[in-house]
Amino acid sequence: MQCVLLRKLAVNAVINPLTAVYRVRNGALVATPSLAAEMAALTREIAAIVRAQFPTACLNLHDPDQLLATVTHVCHLTARNWSSMYVDATTLGHTTEISYIAGPLLAWARQHGVPHPHLAALADEILNAAPPRAAPTRSRATNPASPTRRAPHAAAAATERKE
């Protein structure tokens, strides 16, 4: 059971911060080369942190390539989804769960001296981001940050209709 929860934490620690910072759907992390590279770097850090914290458990999470394959698979399965952290980061009055997702990993990294510049930078950026402001000229139905809106931009909606 511990490994299942740790896998979920590791996957969420990659997908959620990246989608929140870059304001993209989950699938963009694998479809955009620069984001895929960031995803790979973050996955390497998280695998090293898990390896240091749990040296004899959850061995499948120690291998950065195997963890990246898992994260990539989840991104493909949920390609059209907005992550919960993206929704929180772009919705007025919401706070993100970055402290709950990255917090344990950051603490373990510090405890074991594991370098974690990507994870730390993403967490800091999300924690220190200005909250979204209400747009007085838009209704909630047309607000791109609205979690109930299916297509955040007209161009994306047109692309989705073509598929």
Residue given tokens 């059209």 in the structure block? 80
Positions marked active-site? 8
Provide CB contacts within 8 A for 28, sequence distance 6+: 19, 22, 35
3-state secondary structure at position 18:
helix
Ramachandran bin of 58, using left for φ above 0, alpha for ψ from -120 to 50, beta for the remaining angles:
left
As a whole number of angstroms, the distance between CA 137 and CA 113 comes to 49
Among 18, 150, 34, 159, which residue's Cα sits nearest to residue 96?
18
As a whole number of angstroms, the distance between CA 155 and CA 144 comes to 12
As a whole number of angstroms, the distance between CA 139 and CA 3 comes to 44
